[in-house]
Structures are given as C-alpha cells and as structure tokens.
Structure 1
C-alpha cells in the first residue's frame, strides 16, 4: 500500500512504531531526520518532508535525531528496546524474581512511567498484564510437573493466595488444584467468564458446514486437534457457566495441551471490557450491541492460523474452505465421526509440490505453504516464542516469510498471537462492514485506516466485531 502524506503525518503524530522502516520523517526547520515513532516535540506539518530511506534524508542535508536514533534502528541497534526485551525475556522465564512493575522498570533502567509507555508501544499491553500472564504461565508449568499447589503461587511471585487463585482461575477457567488433576482425564470443565458470549464462537467454528476439522453438533461443536503427537476429537458444549470438554482418542493424550488449545479458542487471556467502554465512549455502542463479552477466538495452535492465511489468500471463502478440507483429506488421519486431523507442519514440510496439483492449489500457493511449514519445522519461524516479542519484531519476522504480506501478517498477529491492535488492511469483509457501519462507500486502504483509527489501541476487537456484523446470528 502506497502511503499518502496525510497517512504519514497521522502516523508521525501518533508516534507509531509499526511504521518504522516504511518512511523517514525529515524536519527541515531543525535539519534532522527521525523515525515515525520519535517522541520529540511535534514539528509543524509545513516543516516536514517524508523520505523513503535514511540515505535519501541524508542526501537532503539532514542529520540523525539524537532522541530516536534512526541510524541505530536501521542497523538493528536500539539500546532501550534491547534492554526492555532482555528484561521481559527474564520475566517470562522467572516471573518470581520481580515483586512488581517497579522491579521490572528498575531492571530496564527506566522510570516506571517510561517503562509503562515503552511496553504499551512495543508490546501492545501493559506491564501488569504481561507480568500476570508470565506468573500464570509459569504456574501452569510447575503444576504440570507436580509442584505443591500452594507453594507454586509464592514461587511465581503472586503477592497473596487470593491474587494467585483469582488470576489463575480467570486465565485458565479452573482452580490450580483442578488444573493439576487434568493429567489422564478424558473430560474436564472450564469455568466461563460471567460476560462470555458463546454464540459468536460457535458461529465462527461452524462457518464451513462441510468442514472435516470443525463441526457443529446438537450439543455444541466437535473439533479435531493434535494433543502433542496424538490426534483426537474434542467435543465442546456449554453447561450453565461452564464449557464442558470431552476428549475422544485411541490412546492417552496430553490433556494439558488440549486445555491450552481450548483456552485459546475461548480467549480466556482476554478482557474485552476496556474495548467496550472505549467504543461506548466514542458513541459507537451499536458495534458491540448483542455481542457484549465477545472474545476473539485464537486458533487452537498458531500454525493453524498460518495455514489458513496462506490457503485463504486471494480466493473466495467457499473455495478456501474446500482447499483446507483437501489438506486434511490428503493427510488422511481420521479422528472419528467422519472427521480428520488438521495438517501438521511436519507433514506439510515434506510434501512435493506436484502433490498439490490434484488439490487445485496454485503452484505459488503450494510453494508458500510448504516453505512456511519448513520454516516452522526448522525453527526459523517459532510462532509461540514470537508472540512474546515486540510488535515491530513480530511484523518484521512475519513479513520476511514468503507468502506473508501485510494482510496475512496482521491476521496472524490477531488470530494466532493475540495482538489487540491489528488491521488486516484490504480484507473484503472488513471493508464491506466498515462501509455499512459508517454508511459510506466501501473504503480503500487509506480510508480503512482512517475509519479505524478512533478504535486504537483495540482495533483487532473492532475488526472482529465488524466481521460479525456481516452475519447477524441468533
């Protein structure tokens, strides 16, 4: 997408790090060039010119800004970013080392306010939310390995038992002791948030009535998933304020893996209340009417979203569904009830391109799919680890993968990695819904960004609600 001056001025005013590398800001009144994310005093628009590269800005006689240090950024050097990333990497592995946000900020050599802003800008979250997620993640690991339930809360850094049980329960749907007892079970129940809206979830999972991996039933929905190395079919059904999960497999499975995938589908790590308050404050409450409490369902695994992005690009939805079904039929691993396991990275990485011809895949789509699978298998594209990286690094890594353009990168960040502020520009559904919602002609890329700008930093939620407006469900 070619950026207009208006879009670049807007992104400069927002100090948007997502546009670093897409253009350079030249301030001719001071003779410097900056990154779009620079937080120095805003120049007057008439004093600003935009350049495609640092070299072009230098040729115009400008020098590098000492605040945002664009030359360092271009060389991959950003001391603040790297120090912040190192601190958060330590936090994810050893959250118990940090009593709170002040400890994290001190480790990063930042004031708490600067630290908060840096995390918000680079990770689309707050330090408190990330630290709590890290504590719960580590608690799950320790409980799986047999850690004493009460001691685990202290070890991961929760300041009290009540904070431990409340946060663990909200993000997993069950108390720590119940979670630890999952091993060996063939069924379990996940407690749903009070405002949880199951109808949109079931509607999403039932979009393809002929799907071999997702199928609506009288009770709820059946899914085929991989629990570690074991393919299985799981049945989800709502019972009161709980989601009942039953596992059907021909041998023992990793129940913790099943629980993790169900938690992703339910969006248990999400809290849509801030977005809903934001939307009402804008006067756009009709966007969420009847869908209050709706989470964005993440795909069971990040790789599932990667496959869908490549399979579904530049084809209509019914044909994309057909292409996806043919992959499962080709791999041919049944899980019962006429359903088949979803394709794995290991299987796709070893396919010959000629095998996709009878499946009606274009050669280019087959190349992208096999190449992406090989990147995952070889560790060059680690989507789980990538989900904890800065937004700019996530986007740069995804765009470096053949077959992943801006639309797919934003879709993956939204549906695979849980990023709350993404816009899959060019998505037909979103542009159609935006036109209807604002009663305007179907917008182009620049107008799409302009219309969605008020919803920042929750544009992923806005996009998902816009998709839902296209099919009013009962």
Structure 2
C-alpha cells in the first residue's frame, strides 16, 4: 500500500487508525516517522515519505514519533492473509527466528538461500531480515525500559542486543532518547512490575468483537494448560528459554496482557504468539466489507462486526488436539487432552492460578502407549502417525509453514480427513480462507440460513466469501447456542 501515495496521504490527513501498521509516514522536515493516525497536525504532502515497515523508515534515517509511538502499531495484516515466502518470513521474524538462528536459520526454514531471502524482503519491505529483527529488538527494549525496573544492562541482553553499546546506540537512533530518558519519561507515578512479570497493552484494529474469540478459547481450554480466571484467558507458554504464563483480558481499547516469564529474553516471542493466537493483526474492515456483500451473512456481520479467528499458541499442540477432538464433543476432547497433559506434560508453577503443565511436545509423545487411549483403534493410529510426522520434522505446522505443503502432508496421514485438515489450517496455520464445510456446527447454521446442506454444495456457495472463509465460519458458528460464542461470566 505504501506505493499508493494518494491513498496514503488521504489516510494521514484523515488520521485514519484503520491503516496503522499498513504503512509508516516519514516527515522530511522533522526527521520523524509516524503511524497514519498520529494526532499531530498532518505535514504537507510534499514532505511525506511512505514506508512499508518501521525498519525501512528507521533505515531511511527517521526516528519514531514520541506522540503516536509507531513502533507499537498493530502488525501489518499482509503477513497473516498471505502464504508466500515474504509473509512466511515475516511471521518467523516476529517469532524470533532471526535472533535465535540468524538469517541462515531463517533461510533454511523457508527453503531458500540467504541471498534470495535478503533480496525478496528488501524488495517488498525496504529492509532485510537483520534490520527487521533490529527494529523488533528496539520495540522489546522500549517495553522493558518502560514497564520494568530491570537494570539497563539486563534490558539490553533480554531484548536480544549483543552489547550495551549496540543497545544504547539503537535506542538513541530509533527513539531520539537515551534509555534512561525513556524510563524517566513514563516512570513518574507508574510503579515498575515485579521481576519476570510484565503488564502490557496489545493494540488491535477496530472493530473488535471478542466474544467468540475468548469464548472459544475458554470453552475448549485444556485443564492444567489453559483456564478462564477473573475475566481473563490464561495459559502456559512453551518458550525458548523456559516456560511462561500469560493472562489475556479483553477491554474496549486494547487486550490487557500480563506475562510471567522465566527469562525476559522471551518477551518478544511471547507477545508475538499472543497476538497471533488472538488474531490481533487482522484487517476487520476488509473482512467485514466482503462478507457483508452476501445478503445471508450481512445481518450476522452487522450484528457482530470485527470477529476474529481464535488460533493457537503452538501449531504442533493444536495438531494433536485436533485429532483428539475428531467426532467427539468439546468436553470429551478436553478430557482426552487433559489425560495426555497429566501423563506427558512438563510441570509448571502457577502461584496465581490453576495452571499445572505445558502441553507435551510431539517428541514427548513418541513413547505414547496407544492401548491407554480411551478412543477407537483407528484414531490411536492417526495420533501416533501424526506425532511421528511432527517429531521427525516431516510435517510443519508452525507460523512459518507452507500452507499448501502442510495440507498435502496431512492428507497423506491415515485418519486425517477434510475436517481435521481445515481445522488445523484455520487454527494452527492461520489460513484466513480455511473452510470446515463438514463441521456439524457449520452445517446446522447452513440449514438455519437456507444455505446448501452438503459439504460440496456449501463449499461452492462459499466461494463468494474467499479469501475470508475462516471468518465466515465464526459468523456461522455464532448462530448456534454454544459456549464458544460467549465470554464466560
């Protein structure tokens, strides 16, 4: 979008928050860059320069605006509804792959050379993977500076910087303030969080309808791994440097996020996974506009604009849970998953609630005894085969996975049919166009709305909803009387 100058100028002049994260505006007369909705007086059009990422604006020599804080914008929805290599790369950068494995590790995961990845990211984003990761480190550092009492040296290394010098130089360059000045600016009257626990605000694009999102996560919560407590969805997180616990609570302005981490180096990854899980970087205006064009869906969208698709914090975890949920009730699926967790999950300590374990990874389930699973032999075989494929790396369900390849690999496994494939595509892979035509709730809704009753006919009818069929599913499910549609009291 940043190449459409006229459209960008109109968005900036209107201070339109819908475009926050889509592009960034550099102002040549001030040397700062802003989000489109910046409350400052809009600059003259001839003084505006537009960039597709904060990293590109920083590389062009602009520093972040102190009023609108463009580094805290919602992420671009481009990386969530696309499956090409650039979108996959951006999802992996957000998940911390460059910091953990470097650019070669990113390239290996994507199946390209480092030169190809560099070239493609620079062509579309105006910055390479190292610059993108640097911008992300700067944002993490700012969060730690402003919300914790950590010494600056600890903030530097927790943010992923290799040295104090690099940390200081980056903060001054990006924010035009020293780390101490940043902390002093916000610390007056705001007590710092306890070590290891941070309270953050996760922004989203409006409209935002949280009922089905949090209702689904609460209704399907696996005991010990997830819970609904004090108006918040809580769960354990498996992170590179140790387990974490997150509490997510919807408010009209933002999602309140409280993170308790073993190691603060995992902050960036934890935030990224929470945003992914809640689909916070979606473009609800585009989704609702297309779905509202269908007279059947229009009243549903008008009633609840801004629905999101509930995703998962771990793709492999949900793959296992999808198989456990085949042809059984939500309660039965939770019971099966809870047994796996108690037998194979890693214990965690949760002084603030009832969370007890991390969900077991596929390699921990390799010694699973099929005879101990209380469901049919065929599903036991399906689960064992899936776990083997995930543990060996033959099947990738992570945020950076190739959607078409993952679907093809799943289809090769015994007992994995269209419902399981599309459910995993929607919740694990984040494909916004996944469509569970054979789902019982979808079929009930179709019947009530006089839509075609068979999966094949409904799929043909749903072609008009592409590329947002996953969101159409949320509206169809909401026509039923089920706990997934309502935030618990």
Q: What's the TM-score once normalised by structure 2's chain length?
A: 0.59
Please name the residue that 1:236 is paired with: 248
Inter-partner Cα distance in structure 2 for 1:136 and 1:209: 25
Match of 2:367 among 334, 341, 350: 350
Inter-partner Cα distance in structure 1 for 2:364 and 2:299: 45
Please name the residue that 2:232 is paired with: 220
Contact 1:227 1:255 (C-alpha < 8 Å) held by counterparts: no
CA-atom RMSD, angstroms?
Answer: 3.9
Alpha-carbon distance change, 370 to 137 in structure 1, aligned in 2, over 3 angstroms: closer
Please name the residue that 1:371 is paired with: 385
Please name the residue that 2:325 is paired with: 312
Inter-partner Cα distance in structure 1 for 2:222 and 2:361: 20
Contact 1:222 1:234 (C-alpha < 8 Å) held by counterparts: yes
Determine if the alignment matches structure 1 residue 361 to structure 2 residue 378: no
Query: How many pairs align?
Result: 334
Inter-partner Cα distance in structure 1 for 2:419 and 2:355: 30
**Superposed, which structure 2 residues align to 1:276-355 within 5 Å?**
276-283=288-295, 284-331=297-344, 333-336=347-350, 337-341=353-357, 342-355=359-372
Per-residue CA deviations over 1:429-474 (Å, capped at 9, x if unaligned) read 1101111123x6x812223223323212221211122112224537
Determine if the alignment matches structure 1 residue 470 to structure 2 residue 434: no
- Larger RCO of the pair (alpha carbons < 8 Å, separation 6+): 2
**Superposed, which structure 2 residues align to 1:5-20 within 5 Å?**
none
Q: C-alpha displacement at 1:250, in angstroms?
A: 6.2
Per-residue CA deviations over 1:34-69 (Å, capped at 9, x if unaligned) read xxxxxxxxxxxxxxxxxxxxxxxxxxxxxxxxxxxx
Per-residue CA deviations over 1:259-300 (Å, capped at 9, x if unaligned) read 232021121342232221112222331122332122212111
**Superposed, which structure 2 residues align to 1:147-186 within 5 Å?**
157=122, 158-159=125-126, 175=139, 177-178=141-142, 183=159, 185-186=196-197
**Superposed, which structure 2 residues align to 1:181-220 within 5 Å?**
183=159, 185-189=196-200, 190-208=202-220, 211-220=223-232
Please name the residue that 1:419 is paired with: 431
Inter-partner Cα distance in structure 2 for 1:375 and 1:159: 37
Inter-partner Cα distance in structure 1 for 2:223 and 2:264: 25
Inter-partner Cα distance in structure 1 for 2:263 and 2:87: 35
Alpha-carbon distance change, 249 to 293 in structure 1, aligned in 2, over 3 angstroms: same
- Structure 2 unaligned runs (5+)? 1-54, 57-77, 103-117, 145-154, 160-194
Q: What's the TM-score once normalised by structure 1's chain length?
A: 0.60
Alpha-carbon distance change, 195 to 444 in structure 1, aligned in 2, over 3 angstroms: same
Determine if the alignment matches structure 1 residue 125 to structure 2 residue 94: no
Match of 1:458 among 463, 468, 489: 468
Inter-partner Cα distance in structure 2 for 1:252 and 1:321: 31
Per-residue CA deviations over 1:394-440 (Å, capped at 9, x if unaligned) read 321111123321211111111111112222232101101111123x6
Please name the residue that 1:76 is paired with: none
